[in-house]
Amino acid sequence: MKISIAMTTYNGEAYIEKQIISILNQTRKVDEIIICDDCSTDATVTILEHVLQREKCSYCHLVINDTNLGYKKNFRKSIEMTSGDLIFLCDQDDIWESEKIELVEKLFSKNKKIYALNSAFTLIDGQDKTISYKNRRGFLNHDMIRGKAGNNELVHIPYSMVLRYNISPGCTMAFRKDIKESYLKYTKSMLPHDWEINLLSGMKDGCYFLNKPLIRYRIHGKNTLGMNTNDHLSVLHFEKDIDFRVRAIKEKMALISIVEKWHKRLQIKEKELKQYRKIKTYDMLREKVVCHHRIDLWFPLLAMTLALWDGKYVRFKVLFGDLFYAIRRAR
């Protein structure tokens, strides 16, 4: 397989050299690295040019954008420029374990059902020190996935789960070229790129998770996207951040619109369609309760919560938070 890495940078001078070196030191060397810098105003580009020249990295292509695109469109640009059979996504501030590419390539070669593979990760701080994190009971991957798995176990992620929330940071992800082609054809950068890729893979019943940490994911004050040691960027902020609650629900409504269009264009199995329709009904009820203050619809939402409860996206803490917010806004 030809291996490509799609990487984006923006004002990442503090950690960019460590990230690049961890890629160059892989046991399985990559064939292509595409780096799209989104108009950095610090020394990111200078450091990259120096490191790539010093390491004689002829297969690395550094592109400096004319205007700032934002992370979604910048990743889309970087992905579009890749030519590999297998594409890895990469942030600017993490550290890859040396066997990451070798292990992932072997899994893709052995299992043709895998379209996108997400891996576990270790948290580190700005000084490369490990940050301890204990998953809640019944959860994996820093509470991002509901389920159980042994160490190093490969787990299939059902489409119904990816419809509710993303399962891992994009920097842990690799995917096949045909998923890249679908991503470029059908997506409009309305959702985070990694979520869209997992959704497209889930539609093919090909979204997987490897319960083995293959990167050290850095937590620091300047992460463009990220998580802190207590809450993941997605649903776990709902109870604390009202604005985030509304933004997340509107994002889910955008997802509904996107997925419906995909279902018409792609050959989706009836099983996946049924799962999608249930999640759609739940999200539309949440949107009416929270964004339109329809308190009268809270009991139907309660019934849907009982039917779909998963302890993460659909859970009672979120449900009562929705009610509290709707009552406050209705006054």
Residue 317: predicted pLDDT: 79
Residue 267: predicted pLDDT: 66
Cβ atoms 78, 37 nearer than 8 A: no
Higher pLDDT, 297 or 266: 297
Residue 242: predicted pLDDT: 61
Distance CA 301, CA 319 (A): 8
Scanning 4-58, the segments in alpha helix (DSSP H) are: 16-24, 44-54
Q: Which of 77-86, 226-235, 248-257 has the lowest mean pLDDT?
A: 226-235
Q: Taking the model in full, what pTM does it have?
A: 0.84
Whether the pLDDT of residue 241 is over 60: the answer is no
What average pLDDT score do residues 11-32 get? 98
Cβ atoms 174, 104 nearer than 8 A: yes
Q: How far apart are the first and last CA of the chain?
A: 60
Structure tokens at 104: 């992932």
Distance CA 45, CA 63 (A): 10
The fold for domain 3-218 equals: Spore Coat Polysaccharide Biosynthesis Protein SpsA; Chain A (3.90.550)
Q: Which of 30-39, 69-78, 143-152, 267-276 has the lowest mean pLDDT?
A: 267-276
Residue 323: predicted pLDDT: 87
Structure tokens at 49: 């040019």
Cβ-proximal residues to 60 (8 Å cutoff; 6+ apart), any chain: 32, 33, 35, 52
Banded pLDDT at 2 (limits 50, 70, 90): very high
- Share above pLDDT 70 across residues of the chain, in percent, rounded to a whole number: 90
Distance of CA 31 to the CA centre of its chain: 24
Average pLDDT, the chain: 87
For the chain, residues classed under CATH 3.90.550.10 are: 3-218
Helix (H, G, I), strand (E, B) or coil at 32: strand
